Amino acid sequence: MSTEPGLEQERPPSTLHRRTLWSVLLLLLAAMLAMLVWLAGVYETAQVQGRLERDAEQTVGDVQAAFTRNVQSLQALQYSDPTPNSWNIDAAAMLREHRELVRVEWRDNVLQVKTQVDSPFRMPVFDHIGRANAQSEVFLACTTARRFSGPAYSSSYFVPFADGLGVQVLELCLPLQSAGQPAGYLVATYALQEVLDALPEHPTVRNNEIAFTEGDGTRLAMRRSKRSGSHVFTTQQLVDLPGTSLVLRMDSWRGSPDLFPNVLTALVTAMSIALVSVLVLLAKDMRRRFKAEHDLADALAFRKAMEDSLVTGLRARDLQGRITYVNPAFCQMVGFPEEELLGHSIPAPYWPPEFVDEYQQRQMIRLAGNSPPREGYESVFMRKDGSRFPVLIIEAPLINAQGVQTGWMSAFLDISEQRRVEALSRTSQERLQATARLATVGEMASLLSHELNQPLAAISSYATGSLNLLADGPDAAKEFGVDLTLAMQRIAEQAERAGKVIKSVHDFVRRRDTLREAVAPQELLEAILPLINLQARQLAVVVQTEVAPDVPCVVCDRTMVEQVLLNLARNAMQSMDQPHFLERVLRISVRRVHGEGRKQWLEFSVADMGGGITPDVQLQLFNPFFTTKAEGMGLGLSLCRTVVEQHGGALVFKPNVPQGTVFVFTLPIRAVA
């Protein structure tokens, strides 16, 4: 089956809905898997970080325990009131056991060195800079130790060597007492690198990188380890010593966290993979079903497109006379929706009541098996709004695939236009005669203005005289009553208005300047609204007016502009006088617009919801004697444009949204002094 070129087939809403559900399901599944993997990674990272922090705490404990043991060993040097020589022997033995100690000194109460021993494992650390240059650190540590009455440590500092290298050291000062009196100090110098190297060889120390750092992160000493990964985990712990503090930093180099840190995540992932497999198989089956449904939908859409494109109404009935099918053309023809027609039996809702008996008899003959003539027959149907229209009916038996008759198929043609053309041809001679008489309309208008001015002037005079008479005599006013006065006032007003109309028509026909005055737009609308509302009620039209706030007065001939507004409004209402126009709204609005330079205008617009203007009518819409009305003379729009142009404005039209036409004309605004 081929489709018409240039047309794209739209997917059925059910297909789009199905694909949307599939997409959402796959997205949720992918999100669940990604969340599981992410949570597993976070869990593994948290586990590694937690183990590293516990290892760092253990290492800090080992460092503090080593410092405590060294303090006890230093105290043992003074156990038996040693002499300098014996003290040197014991101190040398201690330095051989503790490689982290690079120098031990015995000082008196004024911090003068009595004796000292350097580590046998390295050159003396103070040979290059001299011990005197480090006295400040020793002094601070011993001052703190005396205040604490116990061991105290100094801040770490760097001791350079002659070869350009150096070592980061830390001073320990231990106050001595003899018989309750100060007996000097023991000063031990630690090498921080050796402190790290002396840590016990267990997995925590062997597998991690350990360093002493300043508070700002500067490394003082570091013990390296083999890096077995690209991801680093870091923790820092504070080593709190009397008088000072050190920061121990531990780095663990690991690979990426395990993808499956526990059995539960692996199980859920396996179930998700199985679910994906099931979805793939289900998607293949749904794809095959979708192809079959798509082919069937294409076939149905092709048949429906052909039926919907017909202008001929189609109707199918079963053997009992019930309606089983109608196409859109038939529904539009009779004005009933499909829901109200399907299943309906005799009498049909579109039968005129006066023809029900005749149509029922004809249908009984049809249902009895008698076939109608193939050339069809004429009948009259009734629309939902009650209007009648002639139709041509062609019927044939409805045969199914098994060759059995299941009902009747009917085709309907609306022949209203054909009847209208016939009626127009009969009236063509009368219109030719009317056209000949229209040539004298200008002379008739001028004659009427002369002939009617005199009786209208007499009416105005008599009305004015009656009012003066009633005003002079109170008894006369009581005799005739207030209603007479009001009636006479109305007579005078209407007579004066009629005189203005006739005078304006007379001046318009003779092309003379009319008397123009400043008039408020609201007054123009109020003058014609009674006439508009009268016709609007007859045609079921809703009239809406909108005047923009603070619009100024317009300079115009009041009577002629009112005639223009009235003519445009009547044309707009007549354009909506069709049964199929359910929304009938006439909208008249006034607003201020700006022209070229500093000139300003008032814009009057009259909008309808009718059928609009066809392109061929637009070309000659303002031509004199052109009309689309059966009884029109074709002068209304031509005269309206002439009046507007005499005022210096313009009359145009444009399509209305969503339907109909808008006529717009402009008039100049009164100049402000």
Instruction: Map out the domains of the chain with their CATH numbers.
Output: 13-261 (3.30.450.20), 310-414 (3.30.450.20), 441-509 (1.10.287.130), 517-668 (3.30.565.10)
Q: What is the mean pLDDT of residues 533-556?
A: 85
Interior/surface letters 324-335, b for 16+ CB within 10 angstroms, e for the rest:
ebbbbbbbebbb
Asked if pLDDT for residue 356 goes beyond 80, the answer is yes
Q: What is the pLDDT of residue 35?
A: 78
Q: What is the pLDDT of residue 647?
A: 83
Q: What is the mean pLDDT of residues 325-335?
A: 86
Q: What is the pLDDT of residue 446?
A: 44
Share above pLDDT 70 across residues of the chain, in percent, rounded to a whole number: 77
Q: Which of 13-27, 567-581, 646-660 has the lowest mean pLDDT?
A: 13-27
Asked if pLDDT for residue 542 goes beyond 80, the answer is yes
Q: What is the mean pLDDT of the chain?
A: 78
User: Nearest-CA neighbor of 549 among 592, 517, 588?
Assistant: 592
Q: What is the pLDDT of residue 486?
A: 59
Distance, in Å, from the CA atom of 530 to the CA atom of 519, rounded to the nearest integer, reads: 19
Helix axes 521-539, 558-575, angle to 10 degrees: 30
Q: What is the mean pLDDT of residues 23-44?
A: 76
Q: How is residue 370 annotated by DSSP?
A: P
3-class secondary structure per residue, 76-140: HHCCCCCCHHHHHHHHHHHHHHCCCEEEEEEECCCCCEEEEEECCCCCCCCCCCCHHHHHHHHHH
Asked if pLDDT for residue 452 goes beyond 70, the answer is no
Structure confidence at residue 288 as a pLDDT band (50, 70, 90): confident
Asked if pLDDT for residue 4 goes beyond 50, the answer is no
Q: What is the pLDDT of residue 234?
A: 85
pLDDT tens digits for range 471-526: 656 665 555 555 456 556 666 766 766 666 566 555 544 444 456 788 889 988 88
Whether the upstream peptide bond of residue 615 has omega within 30° of 0, thus cis, is: no
What does the angle CA 309 – CA 312 – CA 313 come to, to the nearest 5 degrees?
105
Q: How is residue 203 annotated by DSSP?
A: H
Distance, in Å, from the CA atom of 252 to the CA atom of 241, rounded to the nearest integer, reads: 25
Q: Is 347 left (phi over 0), alpha (psi -120 to 50) or beta?
A: beta
HSE value, Cβ hemisphere, 13 Å, CA-based, for 434 = 13
Element (H, E) at 377: strand 377-382
Top mean pLDDT of 14-23, 52-61, 309-318, 557-566 is at 52-61
List beta partners, residue 246: 239
Distance, in Å, from the CA atom of 587 to the CA atom of 579, rounded to the nearest integer, reads: 20
Q: What is the mean pLDDT of residues 404-414?
A: 84
Asked if pLDDT for residue 427 goes beyond 90, the answer is no
Q: How far apart are the first and last CA of the chain?
A: 78
pLDDT tens digits for range 242-279: 988 889 888 887 765 555 555 556 666 777 787 778 77
Q: What is the pLDDT of residue 15?
A: 62
Top mean pLDDT of 20-24, 246-250, 338-342, 592-596 is at 246-250
Top mean pLDDT of 41-55, 438-452, 497-511, 537-551 is at 537-551
Q: What is the mean pLDDT of residues 403-432?
A: 73
Structure confidence at residue 152 as a pLDDT band (50, 70, 90): very high
Provide the pairing of β-strand 542-547 with 517-519.
unpaired
Distance, in Å, from the CA atom of 499 to the CA atom of 461, rounded to the nearest integer, reads: 12
Q: What is the mean pLDDT of residues 221-238?
A: 80
Task: Give residue for tokens 């819409």.
Answer: 621
pLDDT tens digits for range 106-118: 998 888 888 999 9
Q: What is the mean pLDDT of residues 85-90?
A: 89
Q: What is the pLDDT of residue 673?
A: 34
What does the angle CA 281 – CA 286 – CA 291 come to, to the nearest 5 degrees?
130
Distance, in Å, from the CA atom of 52 to the CA atom of 249, rounded to the nearest integer, reads: 11
Structure confidence at residue 434 as a pLDDT band (50, 70, 90): very low
